[in-house]
Amino acid sequence: MTTLTMYQVDAFTNELFRGNPAAVLVLDDWLPVETMQNIAAENNLAETAFLKRNTSGWDLRWFTPVHEVNFCGHATLASSHVLLHEMAVDGELSFETRVGTLRVHKTDAGYQLDFPSFNPEPVTDILGALKDITGRNDITAFQNFENVFVELENEQAVLDFVPDLPKITAFDPFGMVITAKGDEHDFVSRYFVPHAGIPEDPVTGSIHSTLVPYWAGKLGKTQLSAFQRSNRGGHLLCELSGDRVLITGSAVTFMKAEIYLP
């Protein structure tokens, strides 16, 4: 029997039971993919992160309850919190991932994530479906490599939106983001990924790699305050810096546990 240490961290919050929970396992070497997927399914959180050392930093992978994903922000933040806070690793962190190198360092405001910027692109063949789901004939929509985005008229419309999850599931492999100019923040959003086993993600770092360049262009500013308006909620301080998006957020540890594998 193999015993492993697993942490559970609430990301993009400084309060327990808020933000987005992620599980984190720091490994000596990768487990079989089937085992990592089974652990993620057992946890039934939006993401479980697995990381191991490489010659210059860390390799990082993320699994939803259903499959491995290309990009996850909140579980990167959770992993950074485990390394820097729980394991006392020194200095800036460098993670090698499917979307390239991600860097994280501790600041007075929390943890700053250095992510690639994925500029918004025109929506191609699902514009009609987006109009049907939102109940609007005249919509502003865009996409990146993994999600479609719809801008709604105001923050209340984002709060009131009732997702048709079966129809959004049909967008597979795309998730769906709704966003609007915020009342107290520069912009707000919600995110639905039912095909990945995540009906609504509480707080999502990765979607801000596209939301930030979109709202920076729309609002004419590069430093932005964002809030994800899920039930748990989460605050992200964002900056567009050339072809990178810098996101700062806090995290708190909920649990440290042992898991037992055959």
**Positions marked active-site:** 47
Name 92's Cβ contacts closer than 8 Å, sequence gap at least 6.
103, 104, 105
User: DSSP 3-state assignment of 194?
Assistant: helix
Residues 227 and 188 sit within 8 Å (Cβ to Cβ): yes
Residues 22 and 47 sit within 8 Å (Cβ to Cβ): yes
How many angstroms separate the CA atoms of 214 and 119, rounded? 7
Residues 226 and 218 sit within 8 Å (Cβ to Cβ): no
Nearest to 20 by CA among 9, 30, 29: 9
Give the chain's end-to-end CA distance (angstroms, integer). 5
User: SS3 string of 176-215?
Assistant: EEEEEECCCCCEEEEEEEHHHCEEEECCCCCCHHHHHHHH
- Eight-class DSSP state of 146: S
How many angstroms separate the CA atoms of 93 and 39, rounded? 25
User: DSSP 3-state assignment of 181?
Assistant: strand
Name 128's Cβ contacts closer than 8 Å, sequence gap at least 6.
none
